Structure 1
Amino acid sequence: MTLDDLRVFVAVCRAGSLSAVARDLSCTQSAVTQHVKRLERQPRGVVPTHAGRVLEAAASEGLVGLELALRRLRDLADGESGTVRVATGATTVRHFMSDAVVTFRQRHPKVNLEFRTKSSSRACFDALADSDLDLAWITLGRPVRGIEQRPVVELPWVLAVRAGDPLADRASLDAACADLGVRFSFDTSVADWDTALLLAELGVGRAVVPALPGLPVPGDGALRLIPLPSLCPLPVGWAVRRWDALSPPTRAFADLVESYRRDGARP
């Protein structure tokens, strides 16, 4: 099999359709069929045999390693150029990477930074596995096959309330809730932490959020942030396919972000 054979084979296993892969690759269905002779045809699409599934798993891992190696070789040949592609949440760059971005641009002016917004850590994992992304900023969780996770910082939790809220000046949240008869309910959903903080600041409700970099604790102005030390901190950090296959500029950007977040000072 050639690399193209393996790419088509893996694509068909994932899509379950010869015609869909043919459209994506702008080729004929018969051409795709020649790459997947080991597959069983069933009434609803294409399903690999057991042997095909074994080959698919091995091919997927092998293609990732080969593509990373080829990209690293191109980066080495180009020197200090190329692109660093990062998957992030909606507010990640603002709270975790803004200072690192400035320093990186100064140190690596010929390297492009490309940020792609994803809605969840799961979406970041999928993007790493299926695209040309280099890094993803995630909430760390259970191991994911083919993905390496690296913790960078743990974020304590806080309760965000509007100044003047009965809970704003209470030292003990549990005791305050009992005294005031406060019960928490969930009647508003948000997509990111900044939106939750804004709604709390507007007095629309209260929000339990991580203490994001740049937010003072316990808080001042129209917003109050009450520490919640009884809750386990939220671990966040990097996810990659393979650290040892990252290009030098990509490693440099990841290291910069870690330095700022761990030291809290300009490296």
Structure 2
Amino acid sequence: MDGDGGGAYGSHTAEDVFRDFRARRAGMIKALTTDVEKFYQQCDPEKENLCLYGLPNETWEVTLPAEEVPPELPEPALGINFARDGMEGKDWLALVAVHSDAWLLAVAFYFGARFGFDKESRRRLFNMINNLPTIYEVVTGITKKQSKEKTSNSSSKSKSSSKILRQGDQLTKAPKISPPKEDEESGTDEEEDEEEHENTLCGACGDNYANDEFWICCDVCESWFHGKCVKITPARAEHIKQYKCPSCSTNKRIRT
């Protein structure tokens, strides 16, 4: 595992550390959402104390803690596997998510101290981190609920029951996949619609909607996802009658 997150000691910026933070965060979100069944299986309570690590290449790893003292980086929560079968699957994932958020902050500010960040650099780093939803918010669906509340409170027109795919500046129609963008009667309505799209967060990685990305909506939980995050292409989506996201597909199989 690349523990340095930025190479040897030297000149590093808050932006460098934030890129490392974001990559590790993406890996841990994958473990707790799109790769949740694989993650669940690896956290066998019969094994020794295990930790969940987010890696700088946007992947994750469940392994034993580092042996050296002190470790190269702050260590994640130890023994996450022991609680797996003692609580509801969703509650266990939420608990791991909380500890993952704490670990990511510890790693980021460890680098900040190690690279000698001043007060302004630390503030800039925290602000960049704080602009992202936490892993806990992504895993528990809090960001989805907030997005729905913004949608329901907006003055945009009511949407039809059919789902759509978002790609580029247009909303591409597809069976069972979110509401087509209606013709707006005023510039204000168009601006509100654009703002609503920008406030939409991916249920897998937690990032905002972007015009140049393909999105798909789950028919069960009605959450939006980047196609790349759930490995769905526009061509494949055209043939899906009812799309279920990874969480909705696997939650039924995760039981105490």
Give the TM-score taking structure 2 as reference length: 0.26
Indicate the structure whose relative CO is greater, using CA pairs within 8 Å and at least 6 residues apart.
1
